Amino acid sequence: MPALEEPHLLSHRSISPTERLILALDVPEIGEARRLVEKLGEAVRFYKLGLELFMTEGYFELVDWLLGRGKMVFADLKLFDIPETVGAAVRRLRRRAVTFTTVHGGNDRILAAACREKGDLKILAVTVLTSFDRGDLRQLGVDIEVTQLVLARARQALELGCDGVVCSGLEARAVRERLGPELLIVTPGIRPAANRPADDQKRAVGVEEAFLNGADYIVVGRPIRLAPDPYRAACDIQQAISNLFR
| Integer Cα distance of 78 and 71 in angstroms | 21
Catalytic annotation present for 39? no
Q: Which helix (H) or strand (E) holds 123?
A: strand 122-126
Parallel, antiparallel or unpaired: strands 100-104 and 122-126? parallel
Task: Work out the end-to-end distance of the chain between its first and last CA atoms, rounded to an integer number of angstroms.
Answer: 25
Q: Which of 221, 217, 187, 216 is nearest to 204 (CA)?
A: 187
**For residue 206, what is the DSSP state?**
-
C-alpha angle 25-29-32 in degrees, rounded to nearest 5: 70
| Integer Cα distance of 176 and 103 in angstroms | 20
Q: Which of 39, 78, 118, 202 is catalytic?
A: 78
Q: Which of 170, 167, 151, 148 is nearest to 159 (CA)?
A: 151
Provide the annotated active-site residues.
Answer: 78
